[in-house]
Amino acid sequence: MRAGDGPQRIRYIQVGITAGEVAALPAITLRSAPVHLTGSRIGGPAALGDAASAYQSLLQQVTAGEISLDIDPVPLATVEHVWPHAGSDRRTVFVP
């Protein structure tokens, strides 16, 4: 394959297990998908530079509208009012 042929490979670094410890996927899904999975934890295999690069790529995709985030951005100045009432399905993100 030459550069530009086929789907672009996706690099996914998993950090933490908030959603659960098990992801049930058929093996064919991982074998046929252009995805590279890497775990990240203290002492894990992902180097800091790799994690930073993946995070930068993720932020660029969010900025470009390719990925949407289910968040409620609120001004940091309102933290005292908002904090006690946070708790919806959406994540509250305090911004400057």
pLDDT in tens, the chain (96 residues): 445 566 666 766 666 666 667 777 778 876 777 776 666 556 556 677 888 888 899 889 988 988 888 888 899 999 888 887 766 677 888 899
Helical H runs in 1-96? 27-32, 48-63, 79-82
- If asked whether residues 37 and 4 sit together in one domain, one would say yes
- If asked whether residues 73 and 57 sit together in one domain, one would say no
- If asked whether residues 33 and 61 sit together in one domain, one would say yes
Question: What does the pLDDT read at residue 40?
Answer: 57
Question: What does the pLDDT read at residue 75?
Answer: 94
Q: How far is CA 93 from CA 61, 78, 87, in A?
A: 18, 11, 12
- If asked whether residues 60 and 16 sit together in one domain, one would say yes
Question: What does the pLDDT read at residue 81?
Answer: 87
For 21-33, give the DSSP string.
S-----HHHHHHS
- If asked whether residues 39 and 78 sit together in one domain, one would say no
* Domain hosting residue 59, numbered range: 1-65
